[in-house]
Structures are given as C-alpha cells and as structure tokens.
Chains A and B, each alone.
Chain A
C-alpha cells in the first residue's frame, strides 16, 4: 500500500466506499447487458474450470473486482460435512474464485462463514480452510467479537448483528451450494446470506423468505457463483448419506440473486418434497422489491458446455 492509497483510505473511509458501492450496484445491470450475460451457466466436470468460464460469460472478474480492493468470499461452510456430501461449497470452486479475485488485483481476500456446527470442524472437513489458505486467502473463524449491530432496514429484519468484515469489504462474492432445505425447499444464494449475520439467526425461520430477501437487499453481493457441481436433493441442508447427492456438473454465475436462485430451483425439478409454490414465493417477494428478475431465461442467459 502506498502513501496515497493509505491517505485515501483514511480520508475517504467508510463514506467513500459506501457511496462507490451503491453507485456501482445501481449501474451494474446496464453495464452487463452491454458486455456480458446476466446469468452464465456452465456445464463441465471440472468445477474450478466451470466457475472460471461462468465468470467469463459475465465479462470476467475484472469487471467486479478492482485492483487494491478487499474482497470477502462467502462460501457455505455451515456444516461439519465432507465436500462430497454436498452440504458445503465445493472447495475447487472456492479455489478458482480466489484465483480469479487475486488475478483481478484484489489486495485482501477473506473467506469466512458463520457456521452452524463447530467452526473448526466445519472449516476443516469441508476442505475449504486448507484449500483457501493454500490459494492465498485469509480464512478466519467467525467469533463473537466479529459482529457489529447495524440496522438492516429490512421489512422484517432491523437491528441485527452483522459480520464486520462484510461491512468493511469493498466486494462481497457469494458462493452458495445448491441444496435441499427442509423448510424453504432449497437453499441457494439468498439463504447463504445468513452466514454473514450473528445473533439469534434461528428466529429467521419464522419468516424465512422475507428474512433472506432482507439480507440480500442489505448485503447486495457483487457477484454470485452458484455451485451445483453436486447437489443435495434430500435431507438438507446438511444431508448425510451420498444417496442424497446427485452430480449436476453445473456452475452458474450472476450478479442477480433472484435470477440465479430461480435457475437454481430449476435444477431440482418437480421432485418431492420440493414445494415450488413455497420456494418461489420468496423469489416473487425479492422481485417485487427490485432485487432482480425471476424469469431467468428471458434475456442475458448464456449456457456453455465444457468438454
């Protein structure tokens, strides 16, 4: 960091970052339609390569991460499960994303999640701590001191404890894994935002759809990469036996949480116990609040197959 950047940081501080981010998120849709897809879907057996291709379809990582920026990558590390159990984001995807973010010139890369099971176990067994650290990211455990109470100004969520790095980072990249969820039907990108808050998260279940829309509206992730290389089709969100896991070999990328979640739901088909009425209700709420478009096929949909 040179002196100029240092002074910028101090002088500009939070206000500058905040303004810049808001301005950017407003201007993104226009930019995208000009130079890339709104939703990039890549089919391929190598999840890392598929992730890179999916981001390319949107116009490349340089569009989302500028040199010198700090980036928070938020995979799903909620559960003490092995990668092949598909309860956590595929470490190969995490690795590929860290690589892209570094290449784009990010200065500080953090990978973190507020886990449900014991954090040490979940970070390790998911393979994410080891992989992400080897790829050059910081992978800190989320501890009680890391939270700051802010007003989320949502429809159901107001004062809530938020993971401080999520407030401070220049960019947030959301890296959910597509999986079944007993209550909401599926857990996709919006559900994954729950890992950025603390407090009594369990309360959110009572208005789960509305809550995760509130969270998405607040955090406005700059980029979402959905891991559907393997998906958990039953007994989610943590699964257990490999019978509940199906290979889909798909990675999708978008900046639109509604679009990518609508696509995510389509991966699960009409299979019971997915209740598409229920699942889609929160997407409609999200769409009505201007977070994105439910009709993911309408425009800007690009699908590519890797060999």
Chain B
C-alpha cells in the first residue's frame, strides 16, 4: 500500500506541476485543461469564500469530492494527492527521518492540535468577513510560492546557465544550448523572465516550510495545515481504511511509530485524526501486526485533545484580527496604485473572494499582475495589482479572468474586457519629453490600443528651434477613452519614473472613483 501511495503521490505531483506550467497561454486559444483543478478540489477555500462573501458557485461543489474522500477513507488527500504534502514528504527524506531512527515514540501533543486552532481561526475570521484562508491553505500557498517564488528563480538558473554556454561560442555547444533554451521556453519555462515583487518573502516562506521538514518530518502537515485539520475532523471516525494493531502478533518494537508520517503513532493507541494513510507502518511492521481494516470496530485510539479554551482563544483572536484587518480595508480612499485586473469585483467583494493563489499573476502575459503588499491593506496582501512599469494589461487578453478559481475576477468576454476601465493615465508634463523639451516623442500615443486613441496630440508649429521647422505633438489624455491598461506607462521612454502614469482613478468597477 505504501508503494502504491508513493506512485499516486508522484503522479498527482506531476499532474499539479503540469497544470501549473500549462497555466500560461500561447496566443489566442482558451485552454480546455482544468488549470485550477487542485484549487477547485480544496474544500477549505470554498467554505471560506462562501462564509465571507455569502455567495455560492456550482464549482464549489468540487470541494465535496475531497470531503467525501475524507469521509470514506480518512486523510488520504494529505499523503496521496496533496502536492505540498508530497513535497514535504520528499523533503523529509533529506533527514532520513522515516528510516529506522527518526521519529519519537510519543507525540508532540501541543503542536498537533495547533492546526485545529488555525482552522477555527480562519473559519471564524471568514464568518466575520476576512478571507484569510488563502494565506495558509496549502494549495493556494503552493501555487503562489511556485509562481512568485520559485518560478523566477528557476527561470533565472536555467536560462543564465544555458546563456553562459551559448556565450562560449563553441559551435556545437552554443547551437544546442540555444535550441534547448528555445524549446524549454513556453514549455517548462515561461516565455519571458518572470519578475515578481516580494519573491524573496513568498519564496522564503515556502523554503522555510520545506526546511522545517528537517526539524520534524512533515512539520507543516502535522502541526500547521488547516486543510489537513479540516479533513481530519471530517473523516476520522468513518474511515474505511483504518489502521489497527493485531495484539497477538505485535512485538512492541515501536517501528510503526518511528515511520509514521502524521505522528498518529499506532502504538499503543492511534490518534486517528492524525493518520494520513501513508501506510508506512503497514509496510515496515516486522511481525505483520499492522492491519488495514474497514469498519467501525472500536479499538484503542487516542486522539489529541482539541481544548475548548484554545478554541475559544483562537476564535477571540480571529475576532480581533478580523476587526483590525477590516479597519484597514476601506478608509474611504483607494490607494492610487491599487489597480485591479479587469473583471475584478468591487473592492470589498473582491477581497472576500480572492484567495491569493496567484494563478492570475502566473498567467498574465506581460507579468504586470503583481502581488500587492500594502496597497490594498493587510486583507489584500498578495492580491493582484497591475504594476504598469513592469507589465501592462494586454488589450486583447482576458486570461486572468479565465483562470480565477473563485470568481474574484469574473469571467469576461473579450468585448466586455476591452470596455472596462481599470484606471486612468495621467501625464507628468514636467517630465514628458514633448512638453518639457519640445522634442517629439509620442511613444505612448503609438501604443495606446483604445479605439479612437485615449492619448491624443495637441499640435504646435515650431520654427527653427532645433535648426528646422516642425510640428510638435504634445500628448494629452482623453479620459473618456482611457481604460487604464498602462501600456503608455510601460512603454514610456523615461523609465525611472515614467512621464505618464496610471492610477486607479476612474476605475469602472465601483462607484468610488468614477468621474462624471
């Protein structure tokens, strides 16, 4: 069973990574792949979004599959399906903890119950309107970490090493590396170098989670993971695949506890909620005393206590946290750089639904969608904002609206997308070359995709200024046409602080900032 489990684990990890990498579109077509499959299967995300937004979508029912699986078989999701679980599992091998000497025979009871309190914290906060699940739920956490943290590092590593091979200019080596790199791009690597703000923070958290496996194997899964806690609570008593010790055969060697991935420790009494069905114990038991059985026969079990006072404490903490976070959300004025992707719901509803998974940032063609830090308050940390100086919103693209798993960015037709204003461009005439120096430029006008051009020229005849007569074309904004896509800011010749900059003013999704 443990062998079968490992095969499943690897296959699901590969599937996850494949879908992750496939979440980059080449050209026009819509993808028929279920790109957000793992996010869709995550019941904690759905519950959290339902609680905060008081809304329901049919696709939230996918989460029931995972719940049903837990009801039938216990926490199989954790050790058979969860991609972060698999990574933690493999990272644990570095310590060889699941070899003969790693685990303790007893449990870290206090730590084991921590994840349940985290779960309660999240759910209470969700009821009070703060959707914080995405910060710590393993699936969005992993998607976000890979997108923002490891993808840029991976790209940098591969492309810079191949580029240094190419630059050696040894005929065969350079040619092969060059075509190898071209093949990798668009398949395993993104087309262009992904650049993300906060990649060190997000990547660092991910790295820390992996390193914790060297302290205690599957540290994250055992003590912190709220999804594991939810599935444990859902499934422990009904499971059809339970572990028991045949006392007649048991030689009390304790091997089962030493290899136990969830710290459920079958000997002498199993903590059923902690069992993630890795079946390591079944595999290693030297006397064949570990049995997998279906049914409800009672046997020695010893679940970790979920203490009432700590449940109350986490609930109280959630109340305080939600209040504090909520106080920061809407102070009446939007941050100028809080430019949301087209299709983003009005800010309060957006924050209720966004789970910070980063799929929109991953798919963004220009890399312009970036994780926010403070621009949308703490509740909006790591939610997507458009940073035009990094990348603009491509006029003929609605990919972010296609991949959003929770509808925080609603699905848009191309026509509708092109009519949505996400902000407004403003000229800084003291820096704009034609305005400030009298030299023609007009790059912003050239790139403006809005029908009829939101950037127009005011023409002025100049005689002899630079030795000849010419017409100076000074750009200005037609605010009735500007959709805030930011291509003008992105392409502005002045790169340190562009002479045309987009802010969230006049965005069309809410009433707060719309002009007359």
Find the residue from B27, B439, B450, B459 having the highest chain A CB count within 10 A: B27
When distances are taken between beta carbons in the complex, the residues of chain A under 8 Å from B471 are 275, 277-278
Contact of B451 among A117, A141, A241, A277 (CB under 8 A): A241
Would you call A145 and B166 a contact (CB within 8 A)?
yes
When distances are taken between beta carbons in the complex, the residues of chain B under 8 Å from A125 are 27-28, 396
Would you call A182 and B453 a contact (CB within 8 A)?
yes
Would you call A118 and B449 a contact (CB within 8 A)?
no
CB-nearest residue of chain B to A236 = B446
CB-nearest residue of chain B to A117 = B394
Within the assembled complex, what's the spacing in Å between the Cα atoms of A208 and B395? 25
Within the assembled complex, what's the spacing in Å between the Cα atoms of A116 and B487? 10
Would you call B182 and A202 a contact (CB within 8 A)?
no
In the complex with contacts A202-B491, A205-B493, A120-B191 CB distance below 8 A: yes
The size bracket of the interface on A is 20 to 34
B442 at the interface (CB under 8 A from A): yes
Would you call B26 and A205 a contact (CB within 8 A)?
no
CB-nearest residue of chain B to A240 = B451
Q: Please give the distance in Å from B168's CB to the nearest CB on chain A.
A: 13
Q: Please give the distance in Å from B386's CB to the nearest CB on chain A.
A: 15
Would you call A118 and B446 a contact (CB within 8 A)?
no
**Which residues of chain B in 458-491 are interfacial with respect to chain A, using CB atoms and an 8 Å cutoff?**
459, 468, 470-471, 473, 491
Q: Please give the distance in Å from B306's CB to the nearest CB on chain A.
A: 51
Contact of A240 among B166, B366, B450 (CB under 8 A): B450
A145-B178, A235-B451 are known contacts; what are 12 more A-B pairs with Cβ within 8 Å? A116-B491, A117-B396, A119-B191, A120-B186, A124-B27, A125-B27, A143-B191, A145-B163, A182-B473, A235-B452, A240-B449, A241-B451
Interface residue SS majority, chain B: loop
CB-nearest residue of chain A to B447 = A116
**Which residues of chain B in 393-407 are interfacial with respect to chain A, using CB atoms and an 8 Å cutoff?**
394-397
Within the assembled complex, what's the spacing in Å between the Cα atoms of A235 and B457? 11
Interface string of A111-138 (1 = CB under 8 A from B): 0000011111101110000000000000
Would you call B433 and A121 a contact (CB within 8 A)?
no
The size bracket of the interface on B is 35 or more
CB-nearest residue of chain B to A82 = B396
When distances are taken between beta carbons in the complex, the residues of chain A under 8 Å from B492 are 202
22 of the cross-chain contacts (CB-CB < 8 Å) are A80-B394, A117-B394, A117-B395, A117-B396, A120-B365, A121-B27, A140-B182, A141-B191, A143-B182, A183-B440, A183-B441, A202-B492, A203-B493, A206-B441, A235-B452, A238-B446, A240-B451, A241-B452, A273-B459, A275-B471, A277-B471, A281-B470
**Which residues of chain A in 74-103 are interfacial with respect to chain B, using CB atoms and an 8 Å cutoff?**
80-81
B157 at the interface (CB under 8 A from A): no
Within the assembled complex, what's the spacing in Å between the Cα atoms of A242 and B26? 26
When distances are taken between beta carbons in the complex, the residues of chain B under 8 Å from A235 are 451-453
Would you call B470 and A278 a contact (CB within 8 A)?
yes
Q: Please give the distance in Å from A23's CB to the nearest CB on chain B.
A: 28
Q: Please give the distance in Å from B390's CB to the nearest CB on chain A.
A: 14
A230 at the interface (CB under 8 A from B): no
B443 at the interface (CB under 8 A from A): yes
B311 at the interface (CB under 8 A from A): no
Within the assembled complex, what's the spacing in Å between the Cα atoms of A183 and B471? 10
Q: Please give the distance in Å from B121's CB to the nearest CB on chain A.
A: 42
When distances are taken between beta carbons in the complex, the residues of chain A under 8 Å from B446 are 181-183, 205, 237-238
CB-nearest residue of chain A to B182 = A143
When distances are taken between beta carbons in the complex, the residues of chain B under 8 Å from A202 are 443, 491-493
Within the assembled complex, what's the spacing in Å between the Cα atoms of A124 and B26? 9
Within the assembled complex, what's the spacing in Å between the Cα atoms of A200 and B452? 26
In the complex with contacts A123-B27, A278-B470, A205-B441 CB distance below 8 A: yes
Contact of B26 among A120, A143, A206, A241 (CB under 8 A): A120
When distances are taken between beta carbons in the complex, the residues of chain A under 8 Å from B493 are 200, 202-203, 205-206
B445 at the interface (CB under 8 A from A): yes
Would you call A145 and B442 a contact (CB within 8 A)?
no
Contact of A182 among B166, B397, B445, B468 (CB under 8 A): B445
**Which residues of chain B in 405-462 are interfacial with respect to chain A, using CB atoms and an 8 Å cutoff?**
433, 439-443, 445-447, 449-453, 457, 459
Within the assembled complex, what's the spacing in Å between the Cα atoms of A145 and B177? 11
Find the residue from A116, A143, A202 having the highest chain B CB count within 10 A: A202
Within the assembled complex, what's the spacing in Å between the Cα atoms of A200 and B439? 17
CB-nearest residue of chain A to B452 = A235
Contact of B27 among A120, A203, A275 (CB under 8 A): A120
**Which residues of chain B in 256-278 are interfacial with respect to chain A, using CB atoms and an 8 Å cutoff?**
none
Would you call A124 and B28 a contact (CB within 8 A)?
yes
Within the assembled complex, what's the spacing in Å between the Cα atoms of A167 and B459? 39
Find the residue from A80, A119, A182, A206 having the highest chain B CB count within 10 A: A182
Q: Please give the distance in Å from B507's CB to the nearest CB on chain A.
A: 21
B181 at the interface (CB under 8 A from A): yes
When distances are taken between beta carbons in the complex, the residues of chain A under 8 Å from B27 are 120-121, 123-125
When distances are taken between beta carbons in the complex, the residues of chain A under 8 Å from B301 are none
CB-nearest residue of chain A to B394 = A118
When distances are taken between beta carbons in the complex, the residues of chain B under 8 Å from A141 are 191
When distances are taken between beta carbons in the complex, the residues of chain B under 8 Å from A200 are 493
Interface string of A274-285 (1 = CB under 8 A from B): 010110010000
When distances are taken between beta carbons in the complex, the residues of chain B under 8 Å from A278 are 470-471
B197 at the interface (CB under 8 A from A): no
Within the assembled complex, what's the spacing in Å between the Cα atoms of A205 and B447? 12
Would you call B397 and A121 a contact (CB within 8 A)?
yes
Within the assembled complex, what's the spacing in Å between the Cα atoms of A278 and B469? 9
When distances are taken between beta carbons in the complex, the residues of chain B under 8 Å from A117 are 394-396
When distances are taken between beta carbons in the complex, the residues of chain A under 8 Å from B104 are none
Q: Please give the distance in Å from A237's CB to the nearest CB on chain B.
A: 6
When distances are taken between beta carbons in the complex, the residues of chain A under 8 Å from B441 are 183, 205-206
In the complex with contacts A238-B449, A278-B471, A121-B442 CB distance below 8 A: no
B185 at the interface (CB under 8 A from A): yes
Within the assembled complex, what's the spacing in Å between the Cα atoms of A125 and B365? 15
Within the assembled complex, what's the spacing in Å between the Cα atoms of A145 and B163? 8
When distances are taken between beta carbons in the complex, the residues of chain A under 8 Å from B451 are 235, 240-241
Contact of B442 among A143, A183, A273 (CB under 8 A): A183
